[in-house]
Amino acid sequence: MNRFLALLPAATAACLLAGCASGRCCERPSAATAPMPVPTPSAAQAPQVTAPQMPAAGTILDHRADEAITFAQLVERLGGARVVHVGELHDQAAHHAFQAKVLAALAEKTDTPLALGLEMFFTPFQPALDAYVAGEIDEQTMLERTEWATRWGFGWEMYAPMLRLCREKKLPVIALNAPKEITRTVSRQGLDALTPEQKASLPPLDMTDGAHRAFVKAATGGHGHEMKPDAFERMYTAMVIWDETMSSNVAAWLEQAGPGSRMVVVAGNGHIADRYGVPARAARKSKAPYATIVQEVRRGQTERRSDTTYADFTVWWDESAPPKPPAPAKPAPKPDAKPAPDAPKPPSA
């Protein structure tokens, strides 16, 4: 089973970190460095699942060319993409190190405006990110103003190199995500429970993708199938708000920055793989060519997708999640505590 799918039930039910992908893909180019077109439905490729022979850690696979490539080749092949979507499993340090490496490489090769778009920050906190990049506030103040610890919570030091690079090079950092106050309300009570101001802040919602609905039901396991129809509709609507907001923010920044501008989008695999979530929606809005990179963990995998619907590139890693903290030791009994009395003996026969 694909690991990010295995993680989705908890993420979607608890945090609404949902959305995945669409059956729209980039066409397989005749040359490896050909520009990546905006996907069209006719370019879709049927899912291809191969036997569980997993690539070695650090392997980069080009799904369009059906070959393993070097990092330098990856950067070259990303040249035609204005938006590069790089997925992750949130707790994997190797995934974040690779994202930082991609961002640094593109920053070196790009002479037009380049931004970093992050699922991890929420739109109301954009001013704090702007102030951090401008050098007006320090890192700790930025984390406090964006409420990192309570709104995202995964280890900051895994993401920090990307933000520090943006500050150093004055690259805009864009908060992509919808406020949790909105998605939480919708998932529990529906769209009608939003305030007029909250409703006005929403982008148009495309709820018509039947394949995406089917994916969400499958990804949420028994929860999606056992939910009453109205409960599932509320949850699905919240997920669509999540992805439509992120994709709208990608498209808006590209339009604002002008022709040739580029963005690296960092988000969970569930928002990128198969293109349902952010990539296809952003492409429809911006008409900008894009590429998708899904990062995998070798442990626990029983199948490997190799089709271009799933991703343009996959990258494989060994487990790199931070170790879980040890369980707290039981407190020692107080020195002056009296020993518990012996249990009464049963009467002898």
Q: Residues 120, 180: contact at Cβ < 8 Å?
A: no
Q: Residues 154, 320: contact at Cβ < 8 Å?
A: no
* Residue 31 in domain: no
* Burial degree of 107 (CB within 10 A; 0-12, 13-18, 19+): middle
Number of domains in the chain: 1
Q: What is the pLDDT along the chain (349 residues), one digit of tens a residue?
A: 344 343 343 344 444 433 333 332 332 222 333 445 555 433 446 676 665 578 999 999 999 999 999 999 999 999 999 999 999 999 999 999 999 999 999 999 999 999 999 999 999 999 999 999 999 999 999 999 999 999 999 999 999 999 999 999 999 999 999 999 999 999 999 999 999 999 999 999 999 999 888 888 887 765 545 778 899 999 999 999 999 999 999 999 999 999 999 999 999 999 999 999 999 999 999 999 999 999 999 987 778 899 999 999 999 999 998 766 666 666 666 666 555 555 555 444 4
* Residue 295 in domain: yes
* Residue 97 in domain: yes
Extract the tokens encoding 215.
């994916």
* Residue 324 in domain: no
Residue 97: its pLDDT value, please? Answer: 98
Assign 50 to helix, strand or coil.
strand
Residue 180: its pLDDT value, please? Answer: 94
* Residue 170 in domain: yes
**Single pTM value for the model:** 0.81
CATH of the domain at 137: 3.40.50.11550
* Residue 264 in domain: yes
Extract the tokens encoding 331.
């407190």
Structural domain of 200: 3-18+74-317
* Residue 254 in domain: yes
Extract the tokens encoding 146.
């964006």
Count of beta carbons in the 10 Å neighbourhood of residue 230: 9
